[in-house]
A and B are shown apart, each in its own frame.
Chain A
Amino acid sequence: MSFLSINSIAHIISAIIGTGAATAEEILYFKDIRDGKIDEAEARHLRITYKIMHWSLIILVLTGFGILAGVRIKYGGTKTFYSPVLWAKYTIVLVLLANAVLIAARKMPMKWAGSLSLTSWYAAFALGRITEKTREIKWLADFLSKFNFVELYLITMVCYILAVAIVAIILNYLKKIIIKKQ
């Protein structure tokens, strides 16, 4: 198994685990908030999913760069390095990391933290799949080639910001209903 394959497989596995942990975190949070508060036992479960997300993110970053290093050595610099979809993915990963720091610093309003985290994980996962599929699906590659780097990057980021806002509205609405039911 080559260096590139090992990194690709580890990257996909940690993306799945991280996205799953982010989803589990939200589900657990809504389950725990039903009584209006999160006690110590519930906080312990949330810390576990949070740790899994953190470790998945670290492995994702390392293996992501491993993939790029493998491609660089095997094929030289390729269009992949300048893919606007991938650069949007890097931006989203940076947002995830910044979100974690701001939560730890208690500077991130909780009504945004959950939606930023959840949307970012799914968005990064989706963008990774799109990048892979553009190599296999001709119509997708043709459609994306109509836009230049800046256009495609901005379109992706606008969609991402809209998705974060929509998910924030949904999650906050659900939280209000769940707490109101008390």
Chain B
Amino acid sequence: MSVLLQFSLISHIFLGLLGIILFYAVLMVLFKPIDFKRIKFLRRVSLLGLISFLSSWILGGYYYVVYYGNIVKPLIKKSAYPWAHSIFMEAKEHIFLFLPFAALVAVLIFYILGEELEQKQAIKKTVIILSSLIVILGAIMALTGIIISGAARLR
């Protein structure tokens, strides 16, 4: 694996995790009353989370197209764990798409509504559910990544 590909893989993992951690922080703050200071935090952190997910998507895509598709995928399919690709990677390729768009919705809500979010409790509850979904899906993506990597027995 070239240095660029190693960098892509590691960055894909860390940026994805960073996105999850940032939305975890968003979730924790959403349980408190929203004031000016907290809405500033929510806007910045959710935007950083969105950028992390988008960057992870691009780097993961590069790694997949340049290396995983041609080298790793055939190895996994020939190994004792072909389901690691056919079930988990295939699922991951589709489910992950929810993350950046759900993150975008959260960012837009924080920027458009601002402190008004505290008066609109129904929308606030929805954003809490949305952020929880982002964190849960993100965790599932991270864990499926472990399953897929584990099947790539190169030796």
Contacts and interface: CB of A to CB of B under 8 A. Distances in A.
Interface string B17-45: 10001001001100110000000000000
A124 to B, nearest CB: 15
A81 B149 contact: yes
Contacts, number: 63
Contact of B154 (A3, A76, A81): A76
A78 B79 CA distance: 12
Given A69-B10, A73-B6, A75-B155, A100 B28 contact: yes
B149 A72 contact: yes
Interface stretch (B51-59, B99-107, B114-122, B138-146): B138-146
A65 interface: yes
A68 B31 contact: no
B130 interface: no
Q: Which of B14, B142, B149 has the most CB of A within 10 A?
A: B149
B28 A78 contact: no
B151 interface: yes
A78 B153 contact: yes
Nearest to A104: B31
- Mostly, the A contact residues are helix
Contacts of B13: 65-66, 69
Nearest to B154: A76
B10 A62 contact: no
A101 B20 CA distance: 14
Given A81-B147, A104-B28, A3 B10 contact: yes
Nearest to A80: B150
A65 B56 CA distance: 14
Interface string A35-72: 00000000000000000000000100110011011001
B4 interface: no
Given A101-B28, A105-B31, A66 B152 contact: no
Interface in B41-99: none
A105 B155 CA distance: 47
Contacts of B143: 90
Given A73-B10, A77-B151, A82-B147, 6 more contacts: A58-B21, A61-B21, A73-B6, A76-B155, A77-B154, A104-B31
6 contacts: A65-B13, A72-B149, A81-B146, A90-B146, A104-B32, A106-B31
Q: What are the 6 tightest A-B residue pairs by CB atom distance, in nearest-first order? A: A81-B150, A76-B154, A77-B152, A77-B150, A104-B31, A72-B149
